[in-house]
Amino acid sequence: MESEPDELPDFLSEDSDAGDELYEHFRLVVDKGQSPIRIDRFLTARMENKSRNRIQIAASAGSILVNGKSVKSNYKVKPCDEITIVLSTPPVNKFLVPENIPLNIIYEDDDLLVVNKNAGMVVHPGVGNFSGTLVNALSYHFQNLPVSKSNRVNDTDLPRPGLVHRIDKNTSGLLVIAKHEEAMTFLAKQFYDKTVDRKYIALVWGNVEEDSGTIEGNIGRDERQRKLYRVFTDGSSGKPAITHYKVIKRFGYVTLCECVLETGRTHQIRVHMKHIGHTLFNDDRYDGNRVLKGPNSGSYKQFVSNCFELVPGQALHAKTLGFIHPSTKKHLQFDSELPEGFEKMLEKWENYVTHTLKEDIQG
């Protein structure tokens, strides 16, 4: 039997290689001499530190496929069957301390909740961020959130709120959190299948030439600057990533865009937009926190600096999130308003285009 983990998340830092989607994907090929046995027993015996209960939950969620078709726990494996399984993998952290931090919850039921995260809040604890995170807040407010097994800590139970995806520290917007293992596994499968609707609003440097487009290119960690990610155009490294964009409004030296994700790689929008020459506005990690377009005048530099002060980092907001509910199986769609600082920044650019920019062109 072959076992090939496609996703092995490392939750030691906010900038891990795991990407924004938190799941593990395994592929197993059954030996030619294998006798018939229930698939839940088969997988439990062959997947280290994966309990039978977790395997059965994955089967109930439709997350176990045999030769491309979903099967239940009582399916009996046959020689040469190709098995794929998706398991949710919530963050592991030994130093998690519940904290009474207010949350902006826009939807909640017995299975999940959707929160609108503020820019500046780290999603989960890691190196340099052991407190003040979304997970610290969730652990305080929701004591019954999922606790799973992980082979990283000798299969010991730890309090780990049910994240199935994440967004960067300085990105604001919507996140869905599962309240129990079944919901977490069901949602993780949707992220793996790329059926979740995710729309972001981004302000980028430069006048984007095309009204809409698609950016494709593997994204991986930069070999020389380990905190950065880049596009590998030849596919030699990184993981496949696809971002669709369309222009919402042009402000001369910056452009407001809507970005739709097909994949969820770390820093995907930030890296893809920079790759096509349009770094996100005020993105300090990718050199967007300085004047990249516009006149070389003191007044313009001061204007841009004033805009920077209104957003804590890259001008990026996870505005829309849609998925199938784990219990009702109905499609839920959520939308969020831009943060106040983001709105004020756009008002400044609108005023600049209406007055100063036109005067500069006429002059």
Cα Rg for the chain, rounded, in angstroms? Answer: 22
Q: Is domain 197-363 annotated with CATH 3.30.2350.10?
A: yes
Tokens of 94: 């030994």
Give, to the nearest 10 degrees, the angle between helix 52-60 and helix 39-46: 130
Nearest-angstrom CA–CA distance, 64 and 17: 25
What residues contact 61, with CB distance under 8 A and at least 6 apart?
182, 185, 186, 189, 326
> Mean pLDDT by 10-residue block, N- to C-terminus, for the chain (363 residues)?
33 42 82 91 86 87 90 93 82 67 94 95 76 87 54 38 86 94 90 93 97 96 89 91 97 97 93 98 97 94 97 97 97 97 97 76 45
The residues of the chain that CATH labels 3.10.290.10 are: 2-88
Residues 6+ apart with CB under 8 A from 22: 9, 88, 89, 90, 91, 163, 164, 165, 166, 188
Q: Locate 291 and state its tokens.
A: 């004047």
Distance CA(25)–CA(2), nearest Å, equals: 13
Q: Which of 20, 81, 168, 283 is catalytic?
A: 168
Domain boundaries for CATH 3.30.2350.10 within the chain: 197-363
pLDDT value at residue 360: 57
* pLDDT of amino acid 77: 93
* Alpha-carbon dihedral sign for residues 235, 238, 241, 246: negative
- Looking at residue 69, its amino acid is K
CATH class of 2-88: alpha beta
pLDDT number for residue 145: 57
Q: What is the pLDDT of residue 146?
A: 54
Q: Cα separation of 209 and 207, whole Å?
A: 6
| Per-residue model confidence (pLDDT) at position 90 | 52
Q: How far apart are CA 140 and CA 84, in angstroms?
A: 35
Dihedral in degrees, nearest 10, Cα atoms 136, 139, 145, 146 = 60
Taking residue 91's Cβ as centre, other Cβ atoms within 10 Å add up to: 23
Burial per residue of 222-232, b for 16 or more beta-carbon CB atoms within 10 angstroms, e otherwise:
eeeeeebbbbb
Question: pTM of the prediction?
Answer: 0.79
Q: 180: closest CA among 164, 198, 162? A: 162
Helix (H, G, I), strand (E, B) or coil at 175: strand
234 catalytically annotated? no
Cβ-Cβ contacts under 8 Å for 163 (sequence gap 6 or more): 22, 90, 91, 123, 124, 135, 175, 177, 178
